[in-house]
Amino acid sequence: MIRLRRVALPQETATRLEEYTEEIAGQATEEARKAKADALWSSRRGVRPALLDALTEMAPGHERCMYCGDSQGTDIDHFDPKSRTPLRTFDWFNHLLACSYCNSNQKRSLFPTDGDGSPLLVDPTLRDPLDHLRLVLPLGRYRARTPQGQACIDVFGLNSRPVLVKGRVDAYATARHSWSCGASPRTRGSSTRPGRSSRSPGTVRSSTCSSRCSTSPSIRRPGRSSRVRRTFWRSCAIRNSGGLPGTVVKPSATRRKSA
């Protein structure tokens, strides 16, 4: 659930969606509109391929779910459920790519709203999830910054699904280990210092790490500026969640200044 940019549909597909919407709007009652919307959506073969192509182009990573960011997105989800607003069944701005688990087991027809009727769930094409969610990297869990963030955590099961939490923790450990294995920009190409092996300019340590290259929180990162550190922690947030960034809470040991 990172911030996404909605792409434009082919004109032919956009025209077909408008025609379907007009058919639904022509029904006399709300119940009739819901029935018509269900019938048309069940036989949407003419527009489904184009919708999926556009959604996969927008999706984070390799066609990841726009809600959990972990599984492959396979379903076209109605952000505002068609059972609630049948007139938005074929509204392109109401379509998001979801994995089958988020679509069928988590979100379903849930659509919490506040006292004014405004949606609490975050549409990543309209709002930045970073404003509503904070990722605690070592724990692999999210903390809500707003009621909207809490609604996302509850509805999509971002903290209650062990596979999502474990995936973030594992990715964090991998990213942190890779960081600790990298060569310092200040020492690349410099003369060999006592106790250090010689390296060619621009090279990094071998992937086979020595005993001094561990993932312990006490490791210091010489030569890294504050700006680079911030960039690293932000990239960790994106990797750990399959593309869901958050304000990162770092372990206290990693806040020490480099020696």
pLDDT tens across 205-236, in order? 444 444 434 433 433 444 444 444 444 445 54
Mean of the per-residue pLDDT values of the chain: 79
**CB–CB of 163/70 below 8 Å?**
yes
Beta carbons of 215 and 176 less than 8 angstroms apart: yes
DSSP string, 183-232: PPTTTTTPPPPTT-----TT----SS--TT----TT---TT--HHHHHHH
User: How sure is the predictor about 135, in pLDDT bands with cuts at 50, 70 and 90?
Assistant: very high
Q: Is-contact 99 106, C-beta < 8 A?
A: no
pLDDT of residue 182: 66
5: three-class secondary structure by DSSP: coil
| Cβ neighbours around 64 below 10 Å, total | 23
What pLDDT, on a 0 to 100 scale, did the predictor assign at position 247? 41
% of the chain beyond a pLDDT of 90: 59
* 198 has a pLDDT exceeding 60: no
Distance CA 189, CA 187 (A): 6
User: Is the pLDDT reported for residue 16 higher than 80?
Assistant: yes
Identify any residues that bridge with 133 across adjacent strands, giving them in sequence order. 144
Higher pLDDT, 1 or 32: 32
Match 């474990």 to its residue by tokens. Answer: 166
CA distance 133 to 156: 13
pTM for the full predicted model: 0.70
Q: Identify the pLDDT of residue 207.
A: 41
> What is the per-residue pLDDT across 67-107, written as a single tens digit (0 to 9) for each?
999 889 999 999 999 999 999 999 999 999 999 999 999 99
| pLDDT value, residue 179 | 84
How remote is the C-alpha of 212 from its chain's centroid?
34
